[in-house]
Every structure is written in C-alpha cells, then in structure tokens.
Structure 1
Amino acid sequence: MSIMSRQACFIKGVVGRLQDTTFPRAGLFGNTRVLLSTTSLKQDKSSYHNRDLRRVTTRASPIKHCIPKGTWDTHMHVVDPQRFPVSPNAVYKPSKHTIEEAMAFESSLGIGKIILVQPSIYGTDNSCLLEALRHVGPSRGRAVVVIDPATIDSQTLADWHSMGVRGVRVNLKSVDTVLDERELTEMLLQHAQVIRPLGWVIQVYVSLEMVPILEKIVPQLGVKLCIDHFGSPDLTTGDNPLQGAASFDPYSLAGFSSLISLLQAGKTYVKISAPYRLSKDGQYRDLEVMAREFLRVAPDRVLYATDWPHTRFAGMDIEPFTETCLHLCENVPGLADRVFRRNAEEMMGEDA
C-alpha cells in the first residue's frame, strides 16, 4: 500500500463525519497524533496510549477501510468469571469481556473473523471459549484450546474440530513456568500425538530464551507450531541496552536466531501482537526491528493479532498497532493480505 493509497483509505473512513474529524492516537513505534480530514493528513506529537477501550469498541475506526478483506484476528480472548469461574490457580483476576463485546471491537476495525485463544486463567476448562465459538459459528471463528493430552478423548477432539477448533495451546509464560529440554520435548510430543490426525497446530507461549529448545523439538512433532507475541523477548528490564533501540542487531537477542531458523524451515508461525507486554519503550522501536526481520525472512509465516481484551493491560488502544502493521507491509505487493489473512488460513487449513 503506497503512502497515497494509505492516505486515501483513511480519508475514506472519515468522509461524512466532518463533525468529528480528529482522531488522536499513539503510533505503535512512535507517539503521534494523527489529525484526519477529507483534505489533509497532519501529525503532531502527543501521548495518547491508553484510550478508553469502550470508545474503541463502539465507533468505527478510520483504518477499517484499510484492513484487507477477510482479515483474521489470530489471537483474542473472551472471559466471563461470573458465568464461567476461573481456575483456583489463576494468576490474575479478569474483568468480564464477552463475545458480543469482542465482535463489536473487531467490527470497529473492519475485522470479521477471529481465532479465540484459551487464556491461562481457565486452565483446561474450555467452556467459555467453546460457547463463544458456537456464537460466532465456523464461518467466522476458529479456536485454540488447552488440553491434558493424557486424558482427552478422540471423540471430544472430533466434536471440537467440527465446531472450528484448530489448535492446542501450551502456555508456560503466563504462569512463569520454565521446563528443561526433556520436559518440554515430552509435553509437546504428547500434544502432537493427539492432534496430528486432525491437522491442528500447537500454539506455544514461551520466552524467547526457550526457543532454541523448540528448534530441536519441532522436526520431531509432525505438526505445525505457532509462537505467541513476537516470540516473547524480554525487553522490559530497566538496564536492557536494547530497550527502545531503533537500530540494533536482533540476532543479539538470545533465541532470536533459532526463531528465525524455525520460520525459515516452514513449519512455524509467529504472531506480531501484544507489544505492550514486551517492551517499556512507549514507541516500541525495539519490536519494530524484530517485526521487520520476520517479514524480511519469512513473510509467509507472520500473523497479525490484536490480543483483545489486553488482559492485565486494560484500556490499550490497538488501532496504532494495526496501522503500523499495515505500514510495515505497504512496500511489498500482497504482503498485507498475507499477514492479515492468507497466512492464518494456511496455518489453520484450507477449509478456513
């Protein structure tokens, strides 16, 4: 998407709304305030990072007209602790975020298809997620569940598959769990064995430092792998010299080289999502370096996601992130369609 076409699609989003043509936002990799009208596109500096999420879910975004047709949000959650009590071991207490609210949010961005991901707070009880999946239906929804591979039965898996489940999640990061190579290998092989007949994907949320172990395991699995949130680098420590760096060698990050090797091997995907979980730099310049390298070496293995409702980071405005993801794709024909749609469909299967 060229700069001119990018401006045109934003202008299209505000035609007919001259009474409200100012939309402040913080850019993902730079705090900017974008003033949109039918005749100009101006920028000035401002910090507007924590816009009220309720406003985002109820009003169409100007970028709605820039989103590729058929876009999938590949990572979002629903939670309802009143109707679906969380696990006694939950590491945080969530607020209520329903599927109706979720779809209103997605619609505001011009997104019609979602992948529901089981959050850590529900453990292996997928009831809330499955109800939401039934609500959206298989034409608009897919899901990633959490299972105990030692106890799950094939009929349950088959029933879930017919509903739109296409993966299982192994989440170590949210619960601060670190496994050695033997333990992680055993866990992933057990999951792979039960999902392989269905063609599902294993979605992992681990720290970037653990990815070299994954590099050894993935060739043994016989299934696809998806890695959450940029591979989860630790860029949040106060003395990290890379924090906020607009130019650095991403291969200096422990585990990054292994992540790139996995992407190039063709069985692994990575989500560019949840930047606020990974870096304290308000402009996220360090993550932009990583994102550009992902897109350079493996454009067919990168997935866009909103991480709605941004659990433990409530109120985040995801529009700047989405806008920047579009910007990162604009100089390569067809790349935005890949990152926002096609890669997700290939990961989940041709029937997506």
Structure 2
Amino acid sequence: MNCDSHIHIYDRAFLTQGDAAAFQENADVDAYRKVQAKIGTGRVVIVTPRVYGTDNAVTVDAIRQLGIDNARGVAVLNPDVTDGELAALHQGGIRGIRFTLYTAKNAAVGFEMVEPLAHRVAELGWHVQLHWTAEQIVEHQAMLERMPATMVFDHRARLPLEAGEHHAAFDIVRRLADAGRAWVKLSGPYLDSAVGLKHRYADVTPMARAWVQAAPERLVWGSDWPHVTETEKPDDAFLLDLLAEWTEDDATSEHILVTNPAVLYGFAL
C-alpha cells in the first residue's frame, strides 16, 4: 500500500495556540481523504504544523480518524514533556518528533533541545525529523554523529541546487544513511526550485535523482499537502508523477512508496 509520508492536517477545533494567521482552510481529514482517493495512497504520515506549536492533539485526532493501522504521526515537543505524555502519544500513533530549525521564524524549538529529546524518544523507537538547511547539517555534524535516535532529513535535506550532491551535507547525510541511521524525504520540490511549477520544478530533478542513486532503500516520498508555502498549489497527482521521473524505475518507486515507509513508520508489510 502506497504511503504519503509527509502531510499536515489543520482543524480549527484544535487551534488553541500558535499563529492563527497561518491556519490553512480546507485542510482537514475529510479534505485529505479526497487527496488519497485521487493519488491512490492508503497510508499517511501526519506532521504537526507550526500553527499548533507543541500541541499535537490535531495530529493524534487525525490518526484516529484515518485509522492507526494506516496512519502515523510526527510530533513537535519540548523537553518538559512528561513520560506519561510520551506514552500517550505513542499509543496514539506518534513515531517521531520534528525540529523545524531552518529559519528562526518558524522554530517552536531550539538546537539545544535536539539531543535531550532524541535520547528520550529513542527509547520508544521513534525517529528525529530534521528540517534544517544544508549549512546547519554541516555545522551540527558532530551532534548528528552522536544522535541516539534514527534521523529523517526533510525535503531532500534542503541541499542548495547550485551545489547539489557536491555540498558537504550530502556526504554527511549519505554516510548516516549508509550506516542505517538516517532517511531522506523526497518532498517539497517547490521549496528550493527557481523555475517553479510552470517548468515542473525541473531544476530539482538532478538533486532528487542523486538521492535515488545514493540511497534508494533509505528514501520516502511525501506530498507536503496542503502546500502551505505556495500561492499556486501544485496538483498532488503531478507531484507523485515526479517521483516516477526521479526514479525512472517502477521497482524503486514501489520501494520508496511501500517498503521503506513500512520499515520506518512501523506499518505492516
């Protein structure tokens, strides 16, 4: 069963903190079910969006609605989370925590929180999802090498397209992946593309293919629905088609869509 490994759910019923101006309309569970029907995915990983800060109730509720057999979540936490809260989140389908630190504007947490929380969630078998810039990956290489938990690098590790696989961050992440300690999400091509949707994010293709060649068994794909950064929203079926262009191989695409996410998120194979 194909898995969309990176989406966000927005529901006003859970909007109790954070920046209400960043709330996305028409992005609840019912709306996402229509996306699933369109692109043919049956599994999903929901990442708590920044509008909710460290309140993960919206994500846990979405997992409940979609069914824990085929839905998982990635939470945003700070170090004062209790063991009881972690246990409840695990019961609710959470399998990782995210650190969105690529820009201070969107950061609900800090670099100083990464290792302490990584040690705690590693005991649960969770991963640490990192939305960092390539420069931050290089700067914090020593931390990454010490990391006790599995790491998942968001959005192709945000490698600058002009450097691509020649950037030092590529080698760092690749070594971690080769050691079985890291994964990379093939998602959000619009975040780094200069040519945009009109040109099918073509400038991202070489970098995506470099990851496919380097670590096909350590990649997952995500739509990044509902594409909150984009004024012109891409069609999700088109984004899935891009994966086929990047892999140029049905067997590799199936691995990225089915086998890899089952291993990473604990779905039945």
Q: Deviations over 1:232-280 (max 9, x none)?
A: 2345xxxxxx3xxxxxx62344533323333223211111111112112
5+ residue gaps, structure 1, are: 1-69, 236-241, 243-248
Q: Quote the offset at 1:107 in angstroms.
A: 1.6
Match status 1:258 vs 2:172? yes
Match status 1:141 vs 2:55? no
Preserved CA contact (<8 Å) 1:215 1:261: no
Bigger radius of gyration, 1 or 2?
A: 1
Preserved CA contact (<8 Å) 2:194 2:203: no
The correspondence of residues 1-352 of structure 1 with structure 2, limited to 5 A, is 70-80=1-11, 82-85=12-15, 87-89=17-19, 92-149=22-79, 151-173=80-102, 175-176=104-105, 184=111, 186-234=112-160, 242=162, 250-253=164-167, 255-282=169-196, 283=199, 284-313=201-230, 315-331=233-249, 334-349=251-266
Number of residue equivalences: 263
CA distance in 2 between partners of 1:222 and 1:198 (Å): 12
CA distance in 1 between partners of 2:103 and 2:45 (Å): 19
Preserved CA contact (<8 Å) 1:71 1:111: yes
Against the structure 1 CA distance between its residues 132 and 121, is the aligned structure 2 distance closer, same or farther, given a 3 Å change threshold? same
CA distance in 2 between partners of 1:176 and 1:164 (Å): 28
CA distance in 2 between partners of 1:234 and 1:219 (Å): 22
Q: Deviations over 1:315-336 (max 9, x none)?
A: 32122221121233343x6312
Against the structure 1 CA distance between its residues 210 and 264, is the aligned structure 2 distance closer, same or farther, given a 3 Å change threshold? same
CA RMSD after TM alignment: 2.3
Q: Which letter maps to 2:10?
A: V
Preserved CA contact (<8 Å) 1:264 1:298: yes
5+ residue gaps, structure 2, are: none
Q: Quote the offset at 1:173 in angstroms.
A: 2.6
Identity of aligned residues (%): 26
CA distance in 2 between partners of 1:212 and 1:292 (Å): 21
Matched position secondary structure for 1:316: coil
Preserved CA contact (<8 Å) 1:91 1:175: no
Q: Deviations over 1:160-182 (max 9, x none)?
A: 2122110111111364479xxxx
Q: Quote the offset at 1:156 in angstroms.
A: 1.9
CA distance in 2 between partners of 1:135 and 1:255 (Å): 38
Preserved CA contact (<8 Å) 1:234 1:279: no
Matched position secondary structure for 1:321: helix
Preserved CA contact (<8 Å) 2:156 2:186: yes
CA distance in 2 between partners of 1:349 and 1:335 (Å): 20
Highest relative contact order (Cα 8 Å, sep 6+), 1 or 2? 1
Q: Quote the offset at 1:152 in angstroms.
A: 1.1
TM-score normalised by the chain length of structure 2: 0.88
Matched position secondary structure for 1:255: helix
CA distance in 2 between partners of 1:134 and 1:276 (Å): 30
CA distance in 2 between partners of 1:336 and 1:259 (Å): 21
Q: Which letter maps to 1:231?
A: A
Q: Which letter maps to 1:277?
A: L
Matched position secondary structure for 2:123: helix
Preserved CA contact (<8 Å) 1:166 1:200: yes
TM-score normalised by the chain length of structure 1: 0.69
